[in-house]
Each structure stands twice: as structure tokens, then as C-alpha cells.
């Protein structure tokens, strides 16, 4: 909303709502849901019909977007206005073509800072949680994706925005792979209905991260040297032509590490939240022009590439929480064509978050196996 002071006037439209609802919405998605996805989809439809709340706790790569389609179709055909809200612009941009393809009869709008769609209206909107501040009692169905993600997880203002954007009687759907302790508590106390999806749609185990000690990596990098096992890991990916993310704890490490890897291959770049070329670099990586992308936790979620490996350098650093490490690990093995891959946490001493993240993934794999949702 830009800079706002106490004397800034706000204008609220109280006239009749614009007639943007289609007569009917035909979903164009022809895919097939897995058993777990189907269960979640049915729960979603019921929650929307009853104007209720639902937490969908699904592992990374479970196919959460596809789970939403039938629920969205049901809502639109009931004359309801739907918003999918997510904390990050990258995710909004990635979701728009997927949702538009599934609902070709509707003009799906993407709302984020600088978006060309912001002066238009539709019955189906994808928005950053920040942009919800522009709406007041606007939506019958509000789907909040990645509720554990920064900045939504740490900004009470964004929770306020969500509450105000929904109508008095509305469905609120929460999506996450790593629910916060407060969300887990709400579920335990029966305050929120939950449906779990512990397996990916392709019925393969989620790759479990492995730990590799790499010594005092900061000291090594300051001498313009990668730790030996890190360099060996990177070289193997270059030789195989296999794409990979290398996650680092702070922006300041991106340039030196990228420069060191550039001595091994030209197909490398670094990206972070303040990077003016962020979108272009991510697109190059998606298109295969880059083999290695060095990044911060800004790309821990929302960017999906079919066949990649992942390394976390300095995995013991506090920025790498359990949630972040689970999300980072979830970048690997998402495609049915490439359901496996390597996830390695290079560290200078194991952290509790590292162990909890590994335990989280192992627990979901065990639960999926118990429920008959995976093929070994």
C-alpha cells in the first residue's frame, strides 16, 4: 500500500458489487488425484460448502495445487468469490498459469506489488498476503498457502489482512507442509479440522537429508576455497549436468561462493531477495540455462524444477529452522519422472533443527507407508 500515515485518507466502496462471476465454471484439468489427494479434495469441498475452516497438512510435493481444483470449481459454481493468498510474489507468479490453465473460462488475476492485474476484478484471484490489505469483506473462500512462510508467519498485520479480506461468513483453508506449533495445538484441541497427506502423488518416499561435516566453512571461504567435500559434491553435479540448489545462510556468502563455483562452470549464478534480476535468474534456472543456483532461504519454497539435487552449506546456522530445512529438502524428487535425488546438509556441527527436520521427513514417510500411500 506504500507509505501510510495517520492523515492518509482511505476510500471504501460500499455500492453494489461488480458482476464478475461467470454463469458457470468448467474445470479443464484432466489429471487424476491420488487416494490421499482425493480424500483432501473431498474434505475441502465440504469445508467450502459449510463455510468452515480446514487445515491441509501435506508434504512438499504432495500436489497441493491440484487438490484445490475441485473445491475452487464447487465454489465458483455456487457464485462464490475465491482468493488464493500466499506470502511470496514468486509463488503468485508461478501459480497463475497453472490455475488459469485449469479454469480457462475465467480471467485469473495475480495480485502483487507492481502487478498489471491490480486494476481489474475477477471471481478468482491469486494474491500475496500483503495485497489483501486492499480488500475488505471481499471473499467467500480464502485459501492461505504456506501459512508457515515468512513474512506471514511473523507479521500479525498479515493475519489482520486475511481476517478483514474474508466475508463475515466465509471458508478459510490453510495449506502447509510444516505447520507451526500454534496450528498443531489448534488441531489437538479440536479448534481446526485437519486432513493430512503424508505422501507425494507419485507414491515414492520423500528423500531424507544426509549430514556431512565440512569443517569451518566460513574460514575456508574467506581464503577463496570451498570445503573439499562441498567442491567434490558440486563437481559431480557439473559432470552429470544435473541441476542443483546450493543454499547459504546469508546474502554475503552468495557472491564469493558463486565466484568459486564459476571457476568450475559458467552455468552458475546467485540470487537473493533484493536481487533486481531475481525473476530472470530463476527463469534461466527453470529453463536449464543454469546448472547451479546459489541462493538464500528465499527459494526454500515455491520454485519447482523436475530433476535437481540440493545442498545446504552451513546448515547449522539459526536461519535454517526445522521448517526451512523441511521445505528445502522438499525441492528434491517432486517429479514422477525423477522421484529421487540427493539432499545434503553440510555443517560445522549438527543443530537441533537439522535433526528435527530429518525426523519430520522420516515420520511422514513412515506414516505414508503405514497408510499404504507409497510404493517401495
CATH number at residue 108: 3.40.50.300
Residues forming a β-bridge with 212: 346
Tell me the C-alpha distance between 367 and 21, whole Å: 41
Q: What pLDDT is attached to residue 193?
A: 92
User: Are 221 and 289 found together in one domain?
Assistant: yes
- How far is the C-alpha of 162 from the C-alpha of 16, rounded, in Å? 22
The reply to whether 24 falls in a domain is no
Domain final position from 197, 219, 236: 197
Last residue of some domain: 197, 222, 245?
Answer: 197
Q: What is the mean pLDDT of residues 338-351?
A: 98
For residues 19 and 364, the model is more confident at 364
3-state DSSP call for residue 304? coil
> Could you tell me how many helices (H) and strands (E) the chain has, helices first?
11, 13
Q: What is the mean pLDDT of residues 316-338?
A: 95
Q: Specify whether 193 is located in the same domain as 268.
A: no
The residues, any chain, with a CB within 8 Å of residue 163's CB and separated by 6 or more, are: none
pLDDT tens-digit profile of 150-162? 778 888 999 999 9
CB contact set of 267 (below 8 Å; sequence gap of 6+) = 238, 289, 290, 291, 292
4 belongs to a structural domain: no
pLDDT score recorded for residue 183: 87
**360-375 average pLDDT score:** 94
Q: Of 15-24, 56-65, 69-78, which gets the smallest average pLDDT?
A: 15-24
Q: The dihedral of CA 158, 161, 163, 167: what is its sign?
A: negative
Residue 84 — very low, low, confident or very high, per pLDDT cuts 50/70/90? very high
How does the average pLDDT of the chain come out, rounded? 92
Are residues 215 and 193 located together in one domain of the fold? Answer: no
* Claim to verify: residue 231 and residue 307 sit in the same structural domain: yes
Who has greater pLDDT, 301 or 131?
131
pLDDT band at 376 (very low <50, low <70, confident <90, very high): low
Q: Is residue 11 part of a domain?
A: no
Say if residue 158 is in the same domain as residue 192: yes
To which H or E segment does residue 197 belong?
strand 193-197
* Residue 182 and residue 290 in one domain: no
What pLDDT, on the 0 to 100 scale, is given for residue 12? 74
Task: State the pLDDT at residue 149.
Answer: 78
Share of the chain above pLDDT 70, in %: 95
At 168, is the pLDDT very low, low, confident or very high (cuts 50, 70, 90)?
A: very high
Residue 9 lies in a domain: no
Strand partners, 75: none
Per-residue pLDDT band for 320 (boundaries 50, 70, 90) equals very high
Give the model's pLDDT for residue 1. 60
| Parallel/antiparallel/unpaired status of strands 308-313 and 292-295 | unpaired
Residues 176 and 248 reside in one and the same domain: no
**What are the start-end ranges of the H helices in 60-201?**
64-77, 89-102, 156-165, 181-188
Beta bridge partners of 82: 124, 141
Would residue 258 be called left, alpha or beta, if left means φ above 0 and alpha means ψ between -120 and 50 degrees?
alpha
What average pLDDT does this structure show over 32-44? 94
DSSP H or E segment with residue 362: helix 352-370
Cell of 56: 491441509
Domain span holding position 355? 210-370
Is residue 179 situated within a structural domain? yes
Same domain, 335 and 308: yes
Give yes or no for residue 17 having a pLDDT over 90. Answer: no
Upper half-sphere CA count for residue 65 (Cβ side, 13 Å):
19
C-alpha cell at 107: 480471467
Residue 18 pLDDT:
63
Residue 343 belongs to some domain of the structure = yes
- pLDDT band for position 6 (cuts 50, 70, 90): confident
Q: Is 310 in the same domain as 277?
A: yes
Instruction: Say if residue 240 is in the same domain as residue 293.
Output: yes
Over pLDDT 90: what percentage of the chain? 75
Residues 99 and 144 in one domain: yes
Q: Tell me how many domains the chain contains.
A: 2
Phi, psi of 244, deg, nearest 5? -155, 150
Judge if 103 and 60 occupy the same domain. yes
pLDDT of residue 4: 74
- The domain boundary residue, chosen from 135, 170, 197: 197
Q: Rounded CA gap, 115 and 92, in Å?
A: 10
Q: Is residue 116 part of a domain?
A: yes
- The stretch 195-211 carries a mean pLDDT of 95
pLDDT digits (tens, 9 = 90+) for 257-299: 999 999 999 999 999 988 999 889 999 999 999 999 999 998 8
**Spatial separation of the C-alpha atoms in residues 68 and 333, rounded to whole Å:** 22
In a domain, 190, yes or no: yes
pLDDT at 180 (0 to 100) = 85
Amino acid at each position: 500500500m506504500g507509505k501510510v500515515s495517520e492523515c492518509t485518507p482511505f476510500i471504501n466502496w460500499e455500492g453494489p458489487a461488480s458482476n464478475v462471476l461467470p454463469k458457470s465454471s468448467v474445470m479443464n484439468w484432466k489429471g487424476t488425484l491420488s487416494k490421499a489427494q482425493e480424500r483432501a479434495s473431498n474434505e475441502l469441498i465440504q469445508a467450502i460448502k459449510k463455510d468452515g475452516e480446514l487445515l491441509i497438512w501435506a508434504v512438499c510435493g504432495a500436489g497441493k495445487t491440484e487438490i484445490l481444483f475441485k473445491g475452487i470449481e464447487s465454489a465458483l459454481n455456487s457464485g462464490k468469490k475465491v482468493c488464493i493468498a500466499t506470502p511470496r510474489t514468486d509463488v503468485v507468479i508461478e501459480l497463475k498459469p497453472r490455475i488459469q490453465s485449469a479454469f480457462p473460462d475465467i480471467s485469473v488475476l495475480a495480485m502483487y506489488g507492481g502487478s498489471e492485474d491490480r486494476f481489474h476484478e475477477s471471481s478468482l484471484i491469486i494474491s500475496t498476503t500483503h495485497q489483501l490489505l486492499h480488500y475488505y469483506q471481499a471473499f467467500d473462500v480464502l485459501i492461505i498457502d504456506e501459512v508457515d512462510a515468512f513474512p506471514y508467519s511473523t507479521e500479525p498485520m498479515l493475519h489482520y489482512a486475511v481476517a478483514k479480506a474474508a466475508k463475515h461468513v466465509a471458508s478459510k483453508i490453510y495449506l502447509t507442509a510444516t505447520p507451526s506449533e500454534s496450528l498443531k495445538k489448534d488441531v489437538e484441541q479440536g479448534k481446526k479440522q485437519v486432513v493430512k497427506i503424508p505422501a507425494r502423488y507419485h507414491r515414492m518416499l520423500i528423500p531424507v537429508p544426509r549430514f556431512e561435516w565440512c569443517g569451518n566453512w566460513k574460514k575456508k571461504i574467506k581464503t577463496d576455497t570451498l570445503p573439499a567435500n562441498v567442491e567434490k559434491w558440486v563437481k559431480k553435479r557439473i559432470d552429470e549436468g544435473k541441476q542443483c540448489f546450493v543454499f547459504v545462510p546469508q546474502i554475503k556468502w552468495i557472491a564469493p561462493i558463486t565466484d568459486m563455483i564459476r571457476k568450475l562452470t559458467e552455468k552458475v549464478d546467485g540470487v537473493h531477495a533484493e536481487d533486481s534480476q531475481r525473476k530472470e535468474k530463476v527463469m534461466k534456472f527453470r529453463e536449464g540455462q543454469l546448472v547451479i543456483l546459489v541462493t538464500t532461504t528465499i527459494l526454500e519454497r515455491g520454485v519447482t524444477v523436475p530433476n535437481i539435487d540440493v545442498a545446504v552449506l552451513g546448515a547449522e546456522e539459526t536461519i535454517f529452522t526445522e521448517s526451512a530445512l523441511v521445505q528445502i529438502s522438499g525441492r528434491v524428487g517432486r517429479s514422477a519422472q525423477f522421484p529421487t535425488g540427493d539432499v545434503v546438509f553440510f555443517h560445522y556441527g549438527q543443530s537441533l533443527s537439522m535433526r528435527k527436520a530429518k525426523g519430520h521427513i522420516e515420520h511422514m514417510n513412515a506414516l505414508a507407508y503405514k497408510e499404504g500411500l507409497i510404493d517401495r
